[in-house]
Amino acid sequence: MISNDAAEAPAIAMNARQKLFIGLVDLAILTELCIAMARASSVQPELFTATFMKTFFLMFLPTLALGFFGFRRLRRHSENS
Protein backbone atom coordinates (compact mmCIF):
# COMPACT_ATOMS: atom_id res chain seq x y z
CA MET A 1 0.00 0.00 0.00
CA ILE A 2 1.33 3.41 -0.95
CA SER A 3 1.13 6.09 1.68
CA ASN A 4 1.66 9.81 1.34
CA ASP A 5 2.52 10.19 5.00
CA ALA A 6 6.16 11.26 5.35
CA ALA A 7 6.31 9.83 8.87
CA GLU A 8 5.68 6.31 7.54
CA ALA A 9 8.30 6.55 4.79
CA PRO A 10 11.61 4.83 5.54
CA ALA A 11 14.39 7.30 6.24
CA ILE A 12 17.53 6.95 4.16
CA ALA A 13 20.52 7.55 6.38
CA MET A 14 23.43 9.04 4.47
CA ASN A 15 26.91 9.76 5.69
CA ALA A 16 28.90 12.85 4.69
CA ARG A 17 30.73 11.04 1.89
CA GLN A 18 27.46 9.92 0.34
CA LYS A 19 26.02 13.43 0.53
CA LEU A 20 29.12 14.89 -1.12
CA PHE A 21 29.04 12.17 -3.79
CA ILE A 22 25.37 12.83 -4.59
CA GLY A 23 26.12 16.56 -4.83
CA LEU A 24 28.94 15.88 -7.28
CA VAL A 25 26.76 13.56 -9.38
CA ASP A 26 24.05 16.25 -9.47
CA LEU A 27 26.63 18.82 -10.58
CA ALA A 28 27.88 16.43 -13.29
CA ILE A 29 24.35 15.91 -14.60
CA LEU A 30 23.71 19.65 -14.66
CA THR A 31 26.97 20.16 -16.57
CA GLU A 32 25.98 17.43 -19.03
CA LEU A 33 22.64 19.14 -19.56
CA CYS A 34 24.38 22.44 -20.33
CA ILE A 35 26.81 20.76 -22.74
CA ALA A 36 23.98 18.99 -24.54
CA MET A 37 21.98 22.22 -24.87
CA ALA A 38 25.00 24.12 -26.17
CA ARG A 39 25.81 21.40 -28.70
CA ALA A 40 22.20 21.12 -29.85
CA SER A 41 21.83 24.88 -30.25
CA SER A 42 24.66 24.92 -32.80
CA VAL A 43 22.85 22.65 -35.30
CA GLN A 44 19.89 23.22 -37.59
CA PRO A 45 16.51 23.45 -35.82
CA GLU A 46 15.33 20.18 -37.38
CA LEU A 47 18.23 18.33 -35.75
CA PHE A 48 17.98 19.99 -32.33
CA THR A 49 16.07 17.22 -30.54
CA ALA A 50 18.07 14.36 -32.00
CA THR A 51 21.38 16.07 -31.25
CA PHE A 52 20.33 16.93 -27.72
CA MET A 53 19.11 13.40 -26.98
CA LYS A 54 22.23 11.74 -28.39
CA THR A 55 24.58 14.08 -26.56
CA PHE A 56 22.76 14.13 -23.24
CA PHE A 57 21.96 10.45 -22.90
CA LEU A 58 25.43 9.32 -24.00
CA MET A 59 26.80 11.29 -21.05
CA PHE A 60 23.89 10.86 -18.61
CA LEU A 61 23.51 7.08 -18.57
CA PRO A 62 27.13 6.33 -17.55
CA THR A 63 26.92 9.08 -14.93
CA LEU A 64 23.70 7.63 -13.57
CA ALA A 65 25.22 4.13 -13.40
CA LEU A 66 28.37 5.48 -11.74
CA GLY A 67 26.21 7.39 -9.26
CA PHE A 68 24.11 4.35 -8.40
CA PHE A 69 27.03 1.99 -7.89
CA GLY A 70 29.19 4.63 -6.21
CA PHE A 71 26.44 5.44 -3.72
CA ARG A 72 26.00 1.74 -2.90
CA ARG A 73 29.75 1.30 -2.51
CA LEU A 74 29.98 4.24 -0.13
CA ARG A 75 27.07 2.82 1.87
CA ARG A 76 28.86 -0.52 2.23
CA HIS A 77 32.04 1.18 3.42
CA SER A 78 30.13 3.15 6.07
CA GLU A 79 28.35 0.03 7.34
CA ASN A 80 31.66 -1.84 7.74
CA SER A 81 33.27 0.98 9.71
Instruction: Report pLDDT for 2.
Output: 66
Q: Which of 19, 10, 11 is nearest to 75 (CA)?
A: 19
**Percentage of residues of the chain with pLDDT beyond 70:** 85
Residue 11 lies in a domain: no
Is residue 24 scored above 90 in pLDDT?
A: yes
pLDDT digit string, tens, across residues 29-56: 999 999 999 999 999 999 999 999 999 9
Q: What residues contact 51, with CB distance under 8 A and at least 6 apart?
A: 39, 40, 43
Q: Is 36 exposed, middle or buried (0-12, 13-18, 19+ CB in 10 A)?
A: buried
Residues spanned by the domain of 21: 16-80
Look at residue 9 and tell me if it is in a domain: no
How much is the mean pLDDT over the chain? 88
* Number of structural domains found in the chain: 1
Axis-axis angle for helices 16-41, 48-80 (nearest 10):
170
Residue 5 lies in a domain: no
